[in-house]
Structure 1
Amino acid sequence: MNHFLLPESNNVTVQAASFGVNAMELLINDLIKLGARRDRLKCKVFGGARMIAGLSDVGQKNAYFVLDFLRREGIECSGQSLGGTQARRIEFWPDSGRARQKMLGEAQIFEPIKPPEPVSDVELF
Structure 2
Amino acid sequence: MQKAAIPECPPALPGFGHIKRYWDPSRKLYVAKLLPGEYYITLRGEMITTVLGSCISACIRDRKLGIGGMNHFMLPDSAQLDDWGGSSSSARYGSYAMEQLINEVLKAGGRRENLEVKAFGGGAIVSKLSSVGRKNIAFLREFLQIEGLQLVSEDLGSPYPRKVNFFPDSGRAQVKKLRSMHNDTIVERENQYLEELVEAPVQGDVELF
Q: Could you state the TM-score of these two structures normalised by the residue count of structure 1?
A: 0.73
Find 1:30's aligned residue among 82, 104, 118. Answer: 104
What is the correspondence of 1:35-46 to structure 2 with a 5 Å cutoff?
35-46=109-120
Quote the residue 1:122 is aligned against: none
Contact 2:75/2:136 (<8 A) preserved: yes
Say which of 115, 132, 142 aligns to 1:58. 132
Residues 45-80 of structure 1, C-alpha deviation per residue, up to 9 Å, x if partnerless? Answer: 010101222555100100111111111111100001
- Quick one: which of 95, 105, 114 aligns to 1:21? 95
Distance 1:42 1:69 in 2: 14
Corresponding position of 1:89: 163
The 2-side partners of 1:93 and 1:55 are apart by 29
Give 1:35 deviation, angstroms: 1.1
Change (3 A) 1:66 1:42: same
Greater shift in the superposed pair: 99-108 or 22-31: 99-108
Separation in structure 1 between the aligned mates of residue 168 and residue 129 of structure 2, nearest angstrom:
35
1:96 is displaced (CA, Å) by 0.4
What residue is the counterpart of 1:79 in the other structure? Answer: 153
Number of corresponding residues: 102
State whether residues 48 and 59 of structure 1, in contact with CA within 8 Å, keep that contact through their aligned partners in structure 2. Answer: yes
Amino acid paired to 1:90: V
Contact 2:161 2:178 in 1 (8 A): yes
Runs (4+) off by over 4 Å: none
Deviation at residue 94 of structure 1 after TM alignment: 0.5
Runs (5+) with no aligned partner, structure 2: 1-69, 80-88, 188-209
Distance across 2 between alignment mates of 1:55 and 1:28: 27
The CA RMSD over aligned residues, in Å, is 2.2
What is the identity, as a one-letter code, of the residue corresponding to 1:75?
L
The percent identity for this pair of structures is 45
Say if 2:74 is the partner of 1:5: yes
In structure 1, runs of 5+ residues without a counterpart are: 11-15, 111-125
Q: 1:79 to 1:72 in 2, by over 3 A?
A: same
Q: Deviations over 1:13-62 (max 9, x none)?
A: xxx8xx32111010111111111111110011010101222555100100
